[in-house]
Structure 1
Amino acid sequence: MGSAWKQLPEELTGPARSLAEELRTLKDAAGLSLSELATRTHYSRASWERWLNGKRVITEQALDALIGAVECDGPALRALWQQAVAGPSGAEAGAQDTAAEADADADAPRVAGVQDTAEPVEVLPAGEPEPATAWWRRPAPLLACAAVVALVLVLVGLRATRHDDPSTPVADPGTSSAPVTVPAKPVSSDPTCQAMGCAHKNPKDTGCGKDARTLQSDVIGKVVIYLRYSQKCQAVWAAINEGQPQDYATITSSTGESEQALIHYGYDNYSLMLSAADPAVTFQVCGHQPEGNLCIAPMSDPAGMVASTPIPVGPASPPPGVGGTASPTADATASPSAAPTAVS
């Protein structure tokens, strides 16, 4: 599926610009719409719109999710990402929002069901350039030279890999035909652990994120915290979104076990899992940031809640309102992210 992409911001330079262009190429080559990309990677259409249009540098976890969802040269793409975040613009873009973007987020609807009623903003007409934002800063001359040299090496590796592999279709730049669709890698539907076997393990690495549901969510300022649950794995974990580095969420059980979702960089993360096989054990998620702390009410028997309430499978989404249990009718395709990997 080809896209009429909006011109990237002029302030986006060097590896960060090349990374955004490469992400666009991979999306088009895979023939995915923005909704399909969000569903496969467990990241929201809004997040992908920001990354593909150069408003933010993609997080490492979202990049890993993309590599797992489409055919691409993963090592070369990660090398390009490292160059992007190493530059002044990439490092600051991954650590904070601009004032303009924060205002836009405040005006945009936060309800997953409302936000997703319209088609994603993936085809944006070219027009006057957007105003420069504070976090896109041009690198110093010496840094720029080093970044350009490294970028050339990475791009040569990307293109050489595509042409050297006869199984990878490459679109002819001289033709106007649609890119060849690259089939996504097959993904196993069976998790690798269950109950106590999942305790203190990563929900993505074990496959538990594939049937994850948001059972509870609440807001501290602009930060959203979640209690996530996998029915197949009988496990729960905490997630945090729209935060800043050093913000974190914890999940604690009545047996004394706990795990933490700390934002190291970017704006989201999720914790390792706790076993939820015993319906008598209660769990509580708490969020912590400079503006204050907040705990969601303790809950138990997540399996019983899922059995009695039509809560859809899907990535974590901003809650329909401040506080409370996540809406059972929330759109399962809407998802901000989660780190240290792609599951939220």
Structure 2
Amino acid sequence: MSLPPLERTAEESACAEALRVIRSRSGLSLKELAAQTPYSKSSWERYLNGKAHPPRAAVVALCRLARQSPARPLALWERAETARNRPPRPVAAVAVAVPERLPAPAPLSAPAPVSVPEEIPVREEPRRPALRHARTAAVLAAALLCTAWLVVAGPWRSESADAPADAPVSSEPEFACHGEPCTGRDVIATRCGMHPTTVSTHRPLPGLRIDLRYEVGCGAGWVRVWGQRIGDVFTVSAAGGEPQTVTVPDKYATGVRLHTPMVATDSPEALRVCVSLAPDGPRKCYPAASAATG
């Protein structure tokens, strides 16, 4: 006999509703989401309708495509993830009293009449004490399970949206690409941007910061910028690779961390970033091996 499907928690429903709002604001169809992320059209349909709980990377990728901060959606995702991992409440076992079997009547030795008692007493087991004991045992079991779960889950903390990008990790992430297949791909969707190394930092203007970043597990690098303005253009390149560019299109791409697509390289020292600042600013290039400028 097949088990019934698990019901969605209130936290999962709230997370799915937030993702639907973000997708609506982005104007992207399910087909376009599938084309720009590692997740299929059918997977996005399940995530947005609450039929399946999405991976954390899918929430981050959707927020990036919608040019929205992932802080609140990730908070809702973490609450849903915690609710999904709650231990099930134990079901109290109910004791059922079974009456004793009556003895079989003795065979008649003669056709003489046999006297049968009008009423045969049946011993009844007391039920209320058994139910009370079962309920007490169930409450104690639930308390023990919750205590054990809190002890195990207490030290766990998921990475928050505002955590430092260079924070240490407890386990090696699984990357979606390595080397040349990473060229032109997004650092969030491929998980290459989880905990990379900052090769060098450059500050062409006050308030503008440019980081050359590299992930050895992906064999690729990219540029991350802060303090950019509308019209600024940033290009990352490496010897023998195809340069990758990001242009700041509108105000929604300012005031947030922005990054270029990746370029494959075996050496982080081979990375180079070129900057064209708006309006009509001169093009300046900075190699990764140069000292950070201020």
**Alignment TM-score, normalising by the size of structure 1:** 0.35
Tell which structure's C-alpha radius of gyration is larger.
2
**Alignment TM-score, normalising by the size of structure 2:** 0.40
